[in-house]
Amino acid sequence: MVAMQERNDMISEVRKPLIVQVVRQFLPNRGGLEDVVANLCHSLPKRGFRVRVVTCDSLFSEPERGRLPAEEFIDGIEIVRIPWRGSTRYPLAPAVFRHLREADLVHVHAIDFFFDALSWGRLLHRRPMVATTHGGFFHTKAFSALKKTWFNSVTRVSASGYSKIIGCSEADVRTFQPIAGNRVRLIENGVDIGKFEDAAARMPARRLVTIGRFSSNKRLPLLIELTAALKTRHPDWSLDIIGVPSDLTVDMLRAEARKHGAETAVTIHKGLTNPEIRHRLAEASLFVSASDYEGFGLVAVEAMSAGLLPVLNANAAFVDLAGRHPDLSLCDASDIAATVDAVEAAYTRLETRGPALRSDLMSAAHAYGWSAVADRYCDVYRSVLGLAAESRPAMSFDTTAPAR
CB-based burial, 180-202: b 16+ in 10 Å, e otherwise: beebbbbbbbbbbbeebbbbbbe
Largest CA distance in the chain: 76
Could you tell me the residue ranges of all domains in the chain? 8-190+369-385, 207-367
Query: Measured in whole angstroms, how far is the alpha carbon of residue 273 from the centre of its chain?
Result: 17
Residue 238: which of 280, 295, 293 has the closest Cα? 280
Kindly indicate the confidence band of residue 294, based on its pLDDT and cuts at 50, 70 and 90. confident
Tell me how far apart the alpha carbons of residues 364 and 360 are, in angstroms, rounded to a whole number.
Answer: 6
At residue 141, the pLDDT reads 61
Residue whose C-alpha is closest to residue 282's, from 219, 202, 215: 202
Q: Dump pLDDT digits (tens) for 5-21.
A: 555 455 556 689 999 99
Q: Which of 18, 35, 19 is nearest to 27 (CA)?
A: 35
The rounded distance, in Å, linking the Cα atoms of 381 and 399 is 9
Residue 69 has pLDDT above 90, yes or no: yes
pLDDT tens column, 339-371: 999 999 999 999 999 899 999 999 999 989 899
Task: Name the pLDDT band for 394 (thresholds 50, 70, 90).
Answer: very low
Same fold, 8-190+369-385 and 207-367: yes
Share of the chain above pLDDT 70, in %: 91
- Inform me whether the pLDDT recorded for 169 exceeds 70: yes
Q: Between 135 and 230, where is the model more confident?
A: 230
Report how far residue 251's alpha carbon sits from residue 263's, in angstroms, rounded to the nearest whole number.
12
Mean pLDDT of 309-317: 95
CA 181 to chain centre: 24
What local confidence, expressed as pLDDT, does residue 136 receive? 81
* Overall CATH class of domain 207-367: alpha beta
**pLDDT > 80? residue 160:** yes
Quick: pLDDT tens for 202-223. Answer: 999 999 999 999 999 999 999 9
pLDDT greater at residue 396 or residue 272: 272
Which is higher by pLDDT, 374 or 246? 374
Residue 144 has pLDDT above 90, yes or no: no
pLDDT band at 143 (very low <50, low <70, confident <90, very high): low
Rounded to whole angstroms, how far apart are CA atoms 187 and 374? 9
- Supply φ then ψ for residue 91, to 5 degrees: -70, 130
pLDDT at 1: 53
pLDDT, tens only, 107-128: 999 999 999 999 999 999 999 9
Q: What is the mean pLDDT of residues 68-73?
A: 98
Rounded Cα gap, residues 250 and 61, in angstroms: 12
The pLDDT score that the predictor gives to residue 197 is 96
Given strand 207-211, what is the order of strands in its sheet?
266-270, 238-243, 207-211, 286-289, 309-313, 329-331
Looking at CATH, the fold of the domain delimited by 8-190+369-385 is given as Rossmann fold (3.40.50)
Q: What is the mean pLDDT of residues 42-62?
A: 96
Helices marked H in 241-369: 250-259, 274-281, 298-306, 316-324, 336-365
Average pLDDT score over residue span 373-380: 96
Q: How far is CA 74 from CA 28, 66, 363, in A?
A: 8, 18, 31
Q: What does the pLDDT read at residue 142?
A: 62
- Cα end-to-end distance, the chain, whole Å: 42
